[in-house]
Structure 1
């Protein structure tokens, strides 16, 4: 198979749309997860929200059976990738090439540790972008690792556990 032939794709059709009831259930769960972190961020004045959590919430509610949605993957995937982003930002360089290396190592680390969570792949970029804007959570601090990364990811997983199991058709998590 040539390279150009691969670009044509396969003859498989796109998956069918889920029933409206399922779409409603998923959307409501995503709403609740976003409300929990949003409410706590607002009323505690603590930064519990991170951009990549939107994609994590999508995975947790749309694809709860996926290995990417399992608690260990979500929590440790976010933790490991943020840690690597912070290490590279603080100890290597805040330049673009350091961000690229941090991303590559973060992806490798998630694979090695068996905690791949695609939304967490954006965390090194988030660290570097916040650092470039002199965000106090990044500049001279490692606090970003704990809040929002660890606490926020634990909260959205807790909501996913409570909510997904309200459906008779879902059982979450599949493993820890």
Structure 2
């Protein structure tokens, strides 16, 4: 008997059709980003996009999976990573501060997307082997996240009873 027996219940297993949709969505999203990268000779993909696919397909109705959160969350957190790299270099202080600052700014701008929290780490931890400049914000961050949202729009709206997204990209909303 498990020491955790009786203390909590697992979430119900998703329906097979939902798991198939998630499989197709994740596979198609990454495949398209790789194809765009290959044919355009610009990077459209980065590691945090794999985690974005989990949220876009497995919990697509979550606020964390909405287009605004995916696109702006990735952009803001990558911007933080690039700025701290340019201003302070890659060191334990800038690496630690970059994640905290990215979280704070995503909260402030109401676009929290957990996979985006990895962007500053990717940038600052690989800065010794990869040259990052401001174009990184365009390729892969902005173009890749927009492509992910476009694929998610198609895949998540295949099911007639599901409407995705719950809300769009409005940059400014009322104070509510």
* SS in structure 2 of the partner of residue 175 of structure 1: coil
Candidates 120, 123, 133, aligned match of 2:119: 123
* SS in structure 1 of the partner of residue 111 of structure 2: coil
Candidates 145, 156, 165, aligned match of 1:153: 145
Candidates 3, 7, 13, aligned match of 1:11: 7
* SS in structure 2 of the partner of residue 131 of structure 1: coil
- Partner in structure 1 of residue 71 of structure 2: 75
Mapping of 1:57-136 within 5 angstroms?
A: 57-133=53-129, 135-136=130-131
In structure 1, runs of 5+ residues without a counterpart are 1-7
How does the TM-score come out when normalised to structure 2?
0.89
Question: Structure 2: how far apart are the matches of 1:112 and 1:11?
Answer: 36
Aligned length in residues: 164
In structure 2, runs of 5+ residues without a counterpart are 169-176
Q: 1:131-157 deviations in whole A, cap 9, x for unaligned?
A: 121x13x1xx21111110000000000
Alignment of 1:168 onto 2:155: no
Question: Structure 2: how far apart are the matches of 1:22 and 1:162?
Answer: 14
Question: Structure 1: how far apart are the matches of 2:164 and 2:35?
Answer: 24
Question: Structure 1: how far apart are the matches of 2:143 and 2:155?
Answer: 18
- Partner in structure 2 of residue 3 of structure 1: none
> In the TM superposition, what is the alpha-carbon distance from 1:166 to its structure 2 partner?
1.0
> In the TM superposition, what is the alpha-carbon distance from 1:89 to its structure 2 partner?
0.6
> In the TM superposition, what is the alpha-carbon distance from 1:21 to its structure 2 partner?
2.0
Question: Structure 2: how far apart are the matches of 1:123 and 1:68?
Answer: 16
Coordinate RMSD, CA, aligned: 1.4
- Partner in structure 2 of residue 24 of structure 1: 20
Stretches of 4+ aligned residues off by more than 3 angstroms? none
Q: 1:35-85 deviations in whole A, cap 9, x for unaligned?
A: 110111112221110100000011101111000000000000000000001
How does the TM-score come out when normalised to structure 1?
0.89
